[in-house]
Structure 1
Amino acid sequence: MTITRSLRACLLALTLALTPALAAAPATAAPLPTIVLVHGAFADATSWDGVATLLRQHGYQVMTPANPLRGPANDAAAVQRTLDTIAGPVVLVGHSYGGFVISNVHDPKVESLVYIAAFAPVQSEVAQLALDPIRFPGSRLLPPVLQLAVVDDPTGIAGKNIDGYVAPDSFHETFAQDVSDATAADMLAHQRSIAVAANLEPSGAPSWASTPSWYLVSGSDRIIPPASQRFMANRMGADTSEINSSHASLVSHPAEVADVVEAAVR
């Protein structure tokens, strides 16, 4: 009997001793979302290198899928194939035309959307409307800066083999005036043209209508006028901030862009 009482007393004392430690133990942290970065026109996935490096240093898994630049429906399907490989939550980020693409991705894993100097359409809208010189003057994406070329289109869709690209002698001044000559030369080497028809293809129902969204305006943008960016950000009710940057803010200001992406992590 005495041994039993002693054993109970020891167990009680041990329980009391452990209770504060157990109470103070932190709850299991929720897994960090995978961040998927979608590039826009006149660029490829390497345009995200600086941002992706910073996010990975902060513990995030980052994916930078190739955007085919053929049209919103086709390109959203390509991004969706990347999302299908991810098991957990996602923060989906789009730059420039990449914003049009992520607006047409509908996946319940996507917790937040981030637009970096990007198109953010409403249903049935085409990207070209955001460049309307009457409503939003200032874009330099016009001939001779904008050049056309016939390409071998992999989709085989009629009318999508006419591509637009930024003329090499105008690329630095128009697309990325706030980066060094060497960086601009590297970006130009990675330039990818976009099907002209992509900017004339109507958007489907936008995912931002039901998903928390963030928007980073480039205040010195010479591709998508800042006024157009502010209009789209306000229309979508996005959490909006602005930096004094060229269209290529993801290259010239990677830390600021990474900060906005991290702000979108729940």
Structure 2
Amino acid sequence: MKILVTGAGGFIGRHMVSALQDRKGITVYQCFHETDKEELDAYLSRCDFLYHLAGVNRSEQMEDFTTGNTLFTKELVCSLLRHKNKCPILYASSIHAVLETPYGRSKREAEEILKTYENKGGRVNIYRLPNLFGKGAKPNYNSVVATFCYNLVRGLPIVVHDRSTVLNLSYIDDVVQEFVGVIEGEGRKEADGYYTISKIFRVSLGEIADTLYTFLNQEVKQEELTEFQRDLYETFISYKLEAQS
């Protein structure tokens, strides 16, 4: 089975590629920001499944959202249809797709393009992902957990504007596990037609900060941790080891 992963250099993409490469019988094509159009087009002509994980979620140039999310998705779909390749697509959208922001609109427009592809016979799984955390997330970018971990292990302060703010978080390992299952037709489709990660933690910023300070200042007994705390601890340790290397 030949699988194409766009955004292979990103947070989700790196974990996805690693998981797929560990599976027998799978050839992984990787699309990076610098991959030229001819090479990408060749991948699209023969892939059996497409994980569309590429996108722009932060930029000072508003047009970057349209280019990186909407137009790039259109290019992928047009190439597949041109090659008469109606392979299944999993799209990493966002819960922010409902918002009237440049980012939200661009993700929503990309979703509509993929729904058109589905109407033409291609299977599509659109995941509106919550906030993600885990090893390798970029600090000071789009993951508050990554920022907190990065700062704490370096002796830098963390800023909690509102301790009561509640986040919906999914651990990257759970996301990848669920994404791999989609190859076999698994996935939880909600009434609105979108897919969601089955395991989502609802935690406050204050709880996250307090737990991380505990990891920093006290001996941790993992058997006493909740599932979320264990995942958070594994994330914290990865940043600690990185800072010590």
TM-score scaled by length of structure 2: 0.37
Task: Report which of the two structures shows the higher radius of gyration computed on alpha carbons.
Answer: 1
TM-score (norm 1): 0.35
